[in-house]
Amino acid sequence: MRLDKYLKVSRVIKRRSVAKDIADQGRITINDKKAKSSSEVNVGDILVINFGNKTLKIKVNELKETTKKDEAQGMYEVVSEEYKEDFRL
């Protein structure tokens, strides 16, 4: 499954266009390799997503073409979540 579609279906990122932009900016890695929006995601992969002030590391548990909101979180497991402190005044 494409990375941008996986992020949208799993609801890690709400919109596919936003997932595509983040991936194409080089802010997502799959198993420690930079990923593009068209990169393939497989079960067991580790994704690291760098948002502005947050880094989210997740493990892919399952792939689905569509899912309901309450089932989406089962598609992945959060390995770690780090927040960056910004001390600029």
* Ramachandran angles phi, psi of 65, nearest 5°: -75, -40
CATH 3.10.290.10: does it fit domain 3-83?
A: yes
pLDDT at 86 over 70: no
Q: Give the pLDDT confidence of 25-38 residue by residue, as tens digits.
A: 999 999 999 999 99
What is the H or E stretch that residue 56 is in?
Answer: strand 54-60
Kindly report the pTM of this predicted structure: 0.88
Contacts of 51 (CB under 8 A, 6+ apart): 22, 27
Domain limits of the chain?
3-83
